[in-house]
A and B are shown apart, each in its own frame.
Chain A
Amino acid sequence: MSALFELQAVGVHYGKVQALKACGLRIQAGERVALVGSNGSGKSTLLRTLHGLVRPTLGAMQVDAAARQAMLFQHPYMLRASAQTNVALGLWLKGVAWKDAKTQALRALERVGLLALAQRNAKALSGGQQQRLALARAWALRPDVLLLDEPTASLDPAAKREVEALMAEFAEAGMTLIFSSHNLGQVKRLASRVMYLEQGRLLADLPTHDFFNGPLPLEAEIFVKGELV
């Protein structure tokens, strides 16, 4: 079975700083992969590398070009325009005619429960609503792979639950999810596989059950215990 992503000893430099070191991994379609690790461990860089926003400076990377990707950022940027226009814009940029894009945007907004706010200025929405709007924008693109960079990091518990529920629904529908998170409870609920990064190195890559119950490298174990306390 061909992989969606295959990285071999990939390294990424930002100037003199090496943010990702000798990273090797293989991700198949349908997986739900959680990236965990402390701040600055390389989670976001790995996500951005997979999405093609950052080019590896070392190693080799293969990506299934046929798989459509979308990415959700921790602080999604919305244009000073209606929620509908923001979703339609993503579709239009992918080549969908504007009229069709506007119609499909309504469907996407309905999918995330924001149809009633279709005409509200996206910047006037709450953090949770903006994150759901970003999910609608991503979902509207019908991606095979959805990459999410700490999608619930700055949300209140209710908004967190809503976003998490949508992620679970997307995964149920067969979408491949790759997300970074500091919330280990969320990782347990959503992920089928966990990757632990520290200082740019991928130190553990295990099924979720094994990650939380099996032996771990010392650094990962300290991290998990620290997070669970």
Chain B
Amino acid sequence: MNTFSDSVNTAFSLITSFDPLLGSIVLRSLAVSACACLLACSAGLVLGAWLGVARFRGRDGVLTVLNTLLALPSVVVGLVVYLLLSRSGPLGFLGWLFSFKAMVLAQTVLVLPVVTALVRQTIEDADRLHGEQFQSLGAGKGMRSLLLLWDERYTLLTVLIAAFGRAISEVGAVMVVGGNIDGFTRVMTTAIALETSKGDLPLALALGLVLLAVVLLLNVLIALVRRWRERLDDDPPPDGVKLLAAQPQGGGE
């Protein structure tokens, strides 16, 4: 109990004193995970949306592999990316090992299946319910997937949160490919692991609390944005109708 209360106090004092070391670790963690999520979401949204509407031979097999990848251990991802980026590996010429880029790549690989699988399920469910209506309007599979992706945008914010949560909370991959170098590749999770191994439990727990607080803050922000946008969607602009009615009405009768 003392350890825990010490940790809370330590965390509080670290935060309130704007500890530069803590700040740099938190910012680095956020930057790595944000970059990884951006990359994974860019690819995963398109891939997941396409998988949601596409029907092809071997699709069930692809989905089984994709769902299996959801349970991919982060340390295995770290190991694979390490092998790829090591000097003798196929991507060794990039010279990324033990760098920020290596950590981003590892987290992207880790998060991509999460985004793809969740988006695929969301779009497939929506397409099963409403795809026929888009088909009736003349939308092909590609257009249907894009329209559903856009229409499910608020639901997909949850996918973003899940992806970010998976990225920022993992330790194995960034530890292996980043090396936990002080001031260079040390992030919150690797710092927690290090402080624990050194026996500095209050600081380790304090970092854990900061990590939780950061994720909580992001969740709250996304929830607020979602609610604000949904409300904005439901309420018409006050003189929107007048503006529209004033527009010249051409087009074929």
- Which residues of A are interface residues toward B (Cβ below 8 A)? 48, 51, 53, 70-71, 73, 76-77, 79-82, 84, 89-90, 93-94, 100, 103-104, 106-107, 115-121, 123-124, 137, 142
Q: Beyond the given A77-B134, A94-B137, A121-B234, please list 6 additional residue pairs across the A-B interface where CB-CB is below 8 A.
A: A77-B130, A90-B138, A100-B250, A103-B250, A115-B245, A119-B240
CA distance A116 to B249 in the complex (A): 15
Residues of B contacting A70 with CB < 8 Å? 136
Residues of B contacting A81 with CB < 8 Å? 151, 233
CB nearest neighbor in B for A90: B137
Let me know if A119 and B241 touch, CB within 8 A.
yes
Residues of A contacting B236 with CB < 8 Å? 82, 117, 119-121
Residues of A contacting B135 with CB < 8 Å? 53
Whether, in the assembled complex, B181 has its beta carbon less than 8 Å from a beta carbon of chain A, the answer is no
Let me know if B136 and A51 touch, CB within 8 A.
yes
Supposing A119-B241, A124-B234 touch, asked if A107 and B249 sit within 8 A by C-beta, the answer is: yes
Residues of A contacting B250 with CB < 8 Å? 100, 103
Q: Identify A93's interface contact among B139, B150, B245, B248, CB under 8 A.
A: B139
Residues of B contacting A124 with CB < 8 Å? 233-234
Let me know if B147 and A53 touch, CB within 8 A.
no
Whether, in the assembled complex, B200 has its beta carbon less than 8 Å from a beta carbon of chain A, the answer is no
Whether, in the assembled complex, B19 has its beta carbon less than 8 Å from a beta carbon of chain A, the answer is no
Q: Identify B244's interface contact among A51, A84, A123, A142, CB under 8 A.
A: A84
Let me know if A80 and B151 touch, CB within 8 A.
yes
Let me know if A79 and B151 touch, CB within 8 A.
yes
Residues of B contacting A123 with CB < 8 Å? 233-234
A-B residue pairs, 3 tightest by C-beta: A104-B251, A119-B240, A77-B130
A-B contacts counted at CB < 8 A amount to 78
Residues of A contacting B133 with CB < 8 Å? 73, 76-77
CB nearest neighbor in A for B251: A104
Q: Shortest Cβ distance from B137 into chain A, in angstroms?
A: 5
Supposing A100-B251, A119-B240 touch, asked if A89 and B245 sit within 8 A by C-beta, the answer is: no
Let me know if A118 and B129 touch, CB within 8 A.
no
Residues of B contacting A79 with CB < 8 Å? 147, 150-151
Q: Shortest Cβ distance from B225 into chain A, in angstroms?
A: 15
Q: Provide a sorted-by-A list of 23 A–B residue pairs whose CB atoms are within 8 angstroms.
A: A48-B132, A71-B136, A79-B147, A80-B153, A80-B154, A81-B233, A89-B147, A93-B137, A93-B139, A94-B138, A103-B247, A103-B249, A104-B251, A107-B251, A107-B253, A119-B236, A119-B237, A119-B241, A120-B236, A121-B233, A121-B234, A123-B233, A137-B137
Let me know if B138 and A103 touch, CB within 8 A.
no
Whether, in the assembled complex, B218 has its beta carbon less than 8 Å from a beta carbon of chain A, the answer is no
Residues of B contacting A104 with CB < 8 Å? 251-252
CA distance A124 to B234 in the complex (A): 6
Those of B205-253 within 8 Å (CB) of chain A: 233-234, 236-237, 240-241, 244-245, 247-253
CA distance A85 to B54 in the complex (A): 26
Residues of A contacting B253 with CB < 8 Å? 107
Those of B3-59 within 8 Å (CB) of chain A: none
Q: Identify B241's interface contact among A77, A107, A118, CB under 8 A.
A: A118
